[in-house]
Structure 1
Amino acid sequence: MSQWIDACATDDIDEEDLIRFDHGTQTFAIYHSPEGDFFATAGKCTHEDVHLCDGLVMGHLIECPKHNGQFDYRTGEAKRAPVCVNLKTFPVKVEGGRVFIDLG
């Protein structure tokens, strides 16, 4: 069952960047790809529970600010040690200049 949540405006995130979005007890990272698409993942690194919002976005990778592990934010795939557990990803849609993520 879908549960679409209004997370932010498309203008809130520069290309090749991300923002933090908190909803209830959960935290997320929302990304704006170089191609203009939007993606959402769990907001904390799977290695040491550090929030990814302070990390560096390079192309389609997010680099954790603590130990420089990397994930492909489109798929959540762990790409560089020390991370070895993938990030959870969430479906995203854009409507009326707003980014929605599906928490269902």
Structure 2
Amino acid sequence: MSQTWTHVCSTAELLPGEMKVAFDAVTGTPIAVFNLDGRFYALEDRCSHEDFELSAGHFDPARGEVECVLHGARFDVRDGRALCAPAHTPVTTFPVKVEDGQVFVRDDR
């Protein structure tokens, strides 16, 4: 398990309703970071139904969901759970920390 935090951006660069992708500094894992009403959440940037980037899809901040553009699977950005078929498996979540106005994530698997 990596203890290294990866810098994503400043909080001013990721406004509510926006998402940004970072790559873990140790594992290289793509991580999608979401600003949902001022709280930050991170998911592996990979649909659990088929290996495709979630960040290519639509983030709906009103519902707290991201939709995979490939087949329409939706996931809750807060906990990664699959919300509809064709996905049944949750997406991996990662810890986020905000320190001195900067957003960090890490692949803690």
Could you tell me the TM-score, scaled by structure 1's length? 0.88
Structure 1 residue runs of 4 or more that deviate by more than 3 Å after TM superposition:
none
Q: How does 1:1-104 map to 2 (within 5 A)?
A: 2-23=3-24, 24-33=27-36, 35-59=37-61, 60-104=64-108
Aligned residues: 103
Query: What's the offset of the Cα at 1:103?
Result: 2.3
Q: Distance in 2 between matches of 1:9 and 1:53?
A: 19
Q: Distance in 1 between matches of 2:20 and 2:29?
A: 14
RMSD: 1.5
Q: Distance in 2 between matches of 1:66 and 1:13?
A: 25
Cα pair 2:29 2:107 within 8 Å, conserved: no
Could you tell me the TM-score, scaled by structure 2's length? 0.85
Identify the structure with the greater strand proportion.
Answer: 1
Query: What's the offset of the Cα at 1:13?
Result: 2.1
Q: Distance in 1 between matches of 2:10 and 2:51?
A: 26
Q: Distance in 2 between matches of 1:92 and 1:71?
A: 18
Q: Distance in 2 between matches of 1:66 and 1:77?
A: 18
Query: What's the offset of the Cα at 1:20?
Result: 1.3
Q: Quick one: percent identity of the two aligned structures?
A: 33
